Structure 1
């Protein structure tokens, strides 16, 4: 995917985007020294933790614009627009732990029987998207190991994130996608 050096660059851009937005209420521009590798369209999430607890997480699961533009967008959104949390306050900034996860394209997992998902999903490597009608939930690859989920629990929790019953992944009308993420902290 992308180099470690460019991943760290993205992390610094995410921090700067939030810091500048806190101070000026303005979005930063794409830095002049942005590496070409970061101009590729890729999905990305920015996760903010405070005291080892989630404080905000927003992302684009699919490549909608360049990685650098998307990182700026979702960093600001994670700090100020995550509906689960109040807007970030200036005094919280110094307590944040930042994480940027660059995603591969989601891949539909095709199975003849739902139990085959157990062979197709690897905990710690794969993230999941589950979609049923208009309901859609996503959990990043790091969520399962951080919470001690096995594959069935990971599927269940992704369904619940979509706002559908935990066992919906067993329903033929439900689509299950997997993707990988490259994490920078």
Structure 2
């Protein structure tokens, strides 16, 4: 699939709203020790997408958890369940989210296009093929893997700074690892849905 995802493969606003609401219901149930089953009855919920669930504090919008799947390996309903639970409970950067805390968190869902490798011969050529604010990037080596969603451009607006921090995110202790010949860089785009406040209006974020 081309990275410029065709219209039919994108989710509608109503579908995005449904995913956010289901994620919140599921997390409320999970953190209460119950089991809310995410519906898979509709055909679109059984299509496979890469998906990330991100949790932000409200109103400061600080990151509180972010986990997901780069590749479309799971049906959407399963990817949502796994990513939501992992973002809340298993992001190693943060303590587990509590039931009470969830009431003060915003849920954001990113739907990913399939990643495509960026062919390049030099670091300069690579930089020319990257579009800030639009491209999410993945760095891969034989032993390392790191990903930044396009939202990270808000904190790291310069291309070299973005790639240097992506190298660190991949666990490489070399800020120039992105320039190495054996390093592969992939790009992808996202469709973002987010609550404006906890359990409130849901919007599609346009870049």
Q: TM-score, normalised by structure 2?
A: 0.84
Q: Is the 8 A contact 1:6 1:38 kept in 2?
A: no
1:38 aligns with 2:45: yes
Cα distance in 2 for partners of 1:116, 1:25 equals 51
2:12 corresponds to which residue? 3
1:89 corresponds to which residue? 98
Give unmatched runs, 5+ long, in structure 1: none
Displacement of 1:120 after TM fit?
Answer: 1.0
Judging changes above 3 Å, is the alpha-carbon distance between structure 1 residues 166 and 107 closer, same or farther for their aligned structure 2 residues? same
1:79 maps to which of 88, 109, 117:
88
Displacement of 1:35 after TM fit?
Answer: 3.5
CA deviation digits over 1:73-112, x for unaligned, max 9? Answer: 1001100011111111122111101100000001010101
Displacement of 1:156 after TM fit?
Answer: 1.1
Displacement of 1:148 after TM fit?
Answer: 4.1
Q: What SS does the aligned partner of 1:29 have? A: coil
1:98 aligns with 2:107: yes
1:162 aligns with 2:155: no
Cα distance in 1 for partners of 2:80, 2:132 equals 25
1:137 aligns with 2:146: yes
Displacement of 1:166 after TM fit?
Answer: 1.5
Q: What SS does the aligned partner of 1:24 have? A: coil
Cα distance in 2 for partners of 1:10, 1:35 equals 12
1:153 aligns with 2:164: no
Q: Is the 8 A contact 2:56 2:65 kept in 1?
A: yes
Q: Is the 8 A contact 1:38 1:66 kept in 2?
A: yes
Q: What SS does the aligned partner of 2:93 have? A: coil
Q: Is the 8 A contact 2:156 2:162 kept in 1?
A: no
Displacement of 1:25 after TM fit?
Answer: 5.0
Q: TM-score, normalised by structure 1?
A: 0.94
Q: What SS does the aligned partner of 1:155 have? A: helix
1:17 aligns with 2:26: yes
RMSD: 1.3
CA deviation digits over 1:108-136, x for unaligned, max 9? Answer: 10101121112211111110100112210
Displacement of 1:39 after TM fit?
Answer: 1.5
Cα distance in 2 for partners of 1:154, 1:68 equals 31
Give unmatched runs, 5+ long, in structure 2: 1-9, 195-207
